[in-house]
């Protein structure tokens, strides 16, 4: 029969190993994630937008003014 302190030491070692494995998995996933290339550019400021999510205010205002979104394509 193992002593209590031996079991506690094993638990601590397994927790360290689990943390190391988690860090390795995170690094692998982060390497897979890549920045999305910009699809639209504001000619006045050079600000860009990937086309994902809510359109930036400058593009929304340009569309309200009658400009086509395609006119801002890179």
C-beta neighbour count of 30 within 10 angstroms: 8
CA angle at residue 57 from 64 to 49, to 5 degrees?
110
Which pLDDT belongs to residue 29?
A: 87
Each residue's pLDDT tens digit, 50-70? 999 999 999 999 999 999 999
Range of the domain at 4: 1-34
Euclidean distance between CA atoms 34 and 74, whole angstroms: 19
26: pLDDT strictly greater than 80? yes
pTM: 0.55
Measured CA to CA in angstroms, residue 53 lies from 49, 50, 60, 68, 69 at distances of 9, 8, 13, 18, 15
Residues 4, 21: one domain?
A: yes
Residues 30, 46: one domain?
A: no
Residues 20, 6: one domain?
A: yes
Residues 8, 30: one domain?
A: yes
Mean local confidence (pLDDT), 35-58: 93
């Amino acid at each position: 029969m193992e002593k209590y302190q031996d079991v506690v030491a094993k638990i601590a070692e397994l927790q360290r190993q689990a943390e190391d494995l988690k860090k390795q998995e995170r690094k692998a996933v982060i390497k897979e994630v890549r920045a999305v290339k910009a699809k639209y550019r504001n000619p006045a400021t050079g600000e860009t937008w990937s086309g994902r999510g809510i359109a930036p205010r400058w593009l929304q205002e340009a569309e309200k003014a009658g400009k086509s979104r395609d006119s801002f394509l890179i």
